[in-house]
Amino acid sequence: MITHMQKGNGKQFSHQLLNSALKEHIVNDKTKNSTLRLLKDALDAEIDWENKSLSSNGKSELNKAILDGKLPKFDRYKDNFNGLGITVHDTCATHITIKSLYIDKERYHAKVYYEVQDHFGLDDDDISKVKFKYFRFFGIWFILQHYSLFAFKPFMTNMDATVDIYGERNESKK
């Protein structure tokens, strides 16, 4: 990513390793406000098994699940050491789409697509935060990006992942 910042002239960046890290983060987030968990709970509650479709309330409950959830960000403690805390850390845009929902008599299968975007760069707000202000690395990065003789361009980092959700009839009652 540093090389891309030096030579990319602000062009967008994506990489399969970041996509894999995003998917792993989504799937392994076992917190109560995980968007994936909340989507599964909403699907469990809102599937109309007789009509093999979402209930009339289903779409709004899925939207609520996303709005109530914690979107995937690389701000966990371990991300301070695995490289994701610097390369991505916070994210600036997330779009979650249910690409497909298949319902049969006893089971359902949903494909959920996450598109996540972050900017790789430091602005005045970033550099004034305690977390970044006192570390020389971030000061150097800020100067490389903002001093006109260097002017390395910040860029957007794009990540995506498709995650499967499976459920069974009466599962929410178990």
Look at residue 38 and give its three-state secondary structure: helix
Residues 120, 157: contact at Cβ < 8 Å? yes
Would you state the structure tokens that stand for residue 44, as one six-digit string? Answer: 């469990």
Please give the average pLDDT of every successive group of 10 residues along the chain, which has 174 residues: 68 88 92 95 95 93 93 76 67 90 96 90 73 72 71 80 94 56
The letter for the amino acid at 43 is: L
d(CA 66, CA 37): 10
Residues 121, 155: contact at Cβ < 8 Å? yes
Q: What is the pTM (predicted TM-score) of this model? A: 0.80
- pLDDT confidence of residue 6: 64
